[in-house]
Amino acid sequence: AQSVTQLGSHVSVSEGALVLLRCNYSSSVPPYLFWYVQYPNQGLQLLLKYTTGATLVKGINGFEAEFKKSETSFHLTKPSAHMSDAAEYFCAVSGDGYALNFGKGTSLLVTP
Amino acid sequence: DAGITQSPRHKVTETGTPVTLRCHQTENHRYMYWYRQDPGHGLRLIHYSYGVKDTDKGEVSDGYSVSRSKTEDFLLTLESATSSQTSVYFCATRRNDNNYGYTFGSGTRLTVV
């Protein structure tokens, strides 16, 4: 079965610093990978996705992720953190029935 | 998202009572999903449907059943609610093309006391 592991349940960065959220996947077939963000008491918002083609994927709000097959990774980055980036971030991979299998999430804290 | 409506948005129920959550979509999407979200666990798949009357179990299906009698409605039933089923429940649909686009509902917060 397809699964993802998010490394670090909590990540803290200073405003203006690089954001790096880690995600590794396990899949027996070429994976379709996703990053979602969830702000407090809200639903899920898609940041970006990788299906086929270019391995560097650009998303909304300045985020991007790179699919690295050799490392089975799909890490999320943003060059400069903003206070408004504080949220919960979820990595996901498409599995049986096209269902998204989510990681446990990483809570991003941005300090002034 | 306007394409999915979950009802109710909030519910408090007593242990042992049956509860049904509804997911209604207006996009004519074939695939629909129910997830539960708990702190430290992310979102976990309960059941999914790949067409009218076609459903399958997900990772955490024990204690839950689903039904899909119409394309637009996907019902999740807790036959006898337990405190461990206190959670936030999200419904999702998948676009019918190969674009891998998903739409999530706003969630239902269920408390079992």
Block means of pLDDT (10 residues each) for chain A, length 112 residues?
Answer: 94 98 93 95 93 93 96 97 97 93 97 96
Single-letter amino acid, residue B17 = T
- A98 with B43: Cβ contact below 8 A: no
Residues of A in contact with B50 (CB under 8 A): 97
What is the structure's pLDDT at B87?
98
Q: How confident is the model at residue B1 (pLDDT cuts 50, 70, 90)?
A: very low
Which of A90, A97, A99 is nearest residue B42 as measured by Cβ atoms?
A90
How many helical (H) and strand (E) elements, i.e. helices and strands, does chain B have?
A: 0, 11
Closest-CA distance, A80 to chain B, in angstroms, reads: 26
| Terminal-to-terminal C-alpha distance of chain B | 30
User: CB within 8 A of A92, min separation 6: which ones?
Assistant: A4, A33, A34, A35, A36, A100, A101, A102, A103
How many Cβ atoms sit within 10 Å of the Cβ of residue A60? 10
Chain A residues with beta carbon closer than 8 angstroms to that of B59:
101
3-class secondary-structure state, position B113 = coil
With a cut of 60, say whether residue B2 has pLDDT above it: no
A9 at B interface, C-beta within 8 A: yes
Q: Note the pLDDT of residue A41.
A: 86
Give phi and psi for A42, each to the nearest 5: -125, 175
Q: What beta strand segments (E) does chain A contain?
A: 3-7, 10-14, 19-26, 33-38, 44-50, 56-58, 64-68, 73-78, 87-94, 100-102, 106-111
